[in-house]
Amino acid sequence: MERPESENKMGVMPVNRLLLNMAIPIMISMLVQALYNVVDSYFVSKVSQDALNAVSLAFPVQNLMIAVSVGTGVGVNALLARSLGQGDREKVNRSAVNGLFLAALSCLAFVALGLACSRLFYAVQTDIPGIVDYGEDYLTIVCGLSMGLFGAVTMERLLQATGRTFYTMIAQAAGALTNIILDPILIFGLGPFPRMEVAGAALATVIGQFLGCCVSIFFNATRNPDIKISFRGFRPHGPTIREIYSVGLPSIVMQSIGSVMVFGMNQILIAFTDTATAVFGVYFKLQSFFFMPVFGLCNGMVPIVAYNYGARKPDRIAKTIKLSVMYATILMAVGFAVFQIFPAPLLDMFRSEEDAAGNLIAIGVPALRIISFSWLLAGFGIVSSSVFQALDHGVLSLISSLVRQLIVLLPAAFLLARLFQNLDTVWLAFPIAELFSCTLCAVFMRRVYRRDILPLRAQAAE
């Protein structure tokens, strides 16, 4: 297969410069997304603790939607980048169109789920009427209008796969900033708008997603010449869909495991007090300030690794992985320091007026300090999982995630709760699980290096 006369920058630009060039725009946009997640919960917490709990308990469903959209996008991203590295333009375009088709089908499933099951989802977790009512309003909107989310994620992955991450940053930032601006307006009814409370937070979210989707479509149409999207005569292409899901399905399952983990942890925590579930929800909002940039780093890394694997350039692959692990570890170490030094001020932002005794802070300070010990290992694990996906070993990512969140974390949390009947000890399950997962990732990384990268070196030397 002949290569294009002018090779994509992923195959020629110096690796450190390329990684930063690809990753920094995504990291910035994901930081903005983390900000709007925090702002969302901040304003909701000022309505009532029931409102904050409702949004916190919605996390498993929202995470499931993100898992399906991002997982499918990861499969499209990896396949498209490999095809681009091989110079197969027809396969590049076919990957993009089939990816959009899969996103549309996934969206329809969540629309039906949200409209039919939102109240039931809350009713099986709590009998507090305020939480159930707020939760039904929130989930019905974010699921029923989820086409913005699925469209935005898929179109952004097309930009990332071809190295145009600057436009991804603009699209994500546009959606996130729209959400931040609309949150107080719709939640509290500022100006001519009615007070919508939790429903307002949901509506602000979906409006931001729709805007981000529209901006991404515009950039793909006008600034992405590597992909030509056309549905004329379209029929689903089975082999392409199988290739997308060979990487994407393990990623979907891997991220969906997070929904199961959060649901299970909420059941363990709510047995102590419903404030513990609010703390857990706040933790996930706060940790996104450090995890989102690492995920952004990995989103920039995946197409580089996939492209250079397709282009048979092992040295560039190895250097990209080493630099990614270094940067991820530094980011996680900074997050660990912040959570150790400033847990109380961080939690105080989410304390409602009815929490005069400061229960959120009393429970949350040890939680944040204990959980953050797991971050010292998390950077390596996140990068490793992304490398496995880029090299078409999504099952290895799935196994490491299963070990971390289900096989070790939930049983450990359950046993610690039963044995010690002390909420603080439950949080120890997080560093315990991360230690197991990180060890497994190291074993898998060694295997992948020997199987996929060393043979490329040998072929290059012949």
Residue 3 pLDDT: 45
What would the DSSP string read from start to end of 55-117? Answer: HHHTHHHHHHHHHHHHHHHHHHHHHHHHHHHHT-HHHHHHHHHHHHHHHHHHHHHHHHHHHHH
pLDDT given for residue 6 in this prediction: 55
When pLDDT is averaged across residues 333-356 and rounded to a whole number, the result is 89
**182's tokens:** 């609309």
Assess contact for 40 and 183: CB atoms under 8 A: yes
| pLDDT tens digits along 5-47 | 456 677 778 899 999 988 888 888 778 778 877 888 889 988 9
Mean pLDDT of 59-73: 89
Q: For residue 121, is pLDDT > 90?
A: yes
CA-closest candidate to residue 183, choices 40, 54, 56, 38: 40
Domain chopping of the chain, boundaries: 11-461
Q: How far apart are CA 455 and CA 453, in angstroms?
A: 6
Q: Helices 165-188 & 198-223, crossing angle to 10 degrees? A: 160
pTM of the model: 0.76
- Over 80: is that where the pLDDT of 197 sits? yes
Can you give the pLDDT at residue 233?
Answer: 84
What radius of gyration, in Å, describes the C-alpha atoms of the chain? Answer: 22
Largest CA distance in the chain: 72
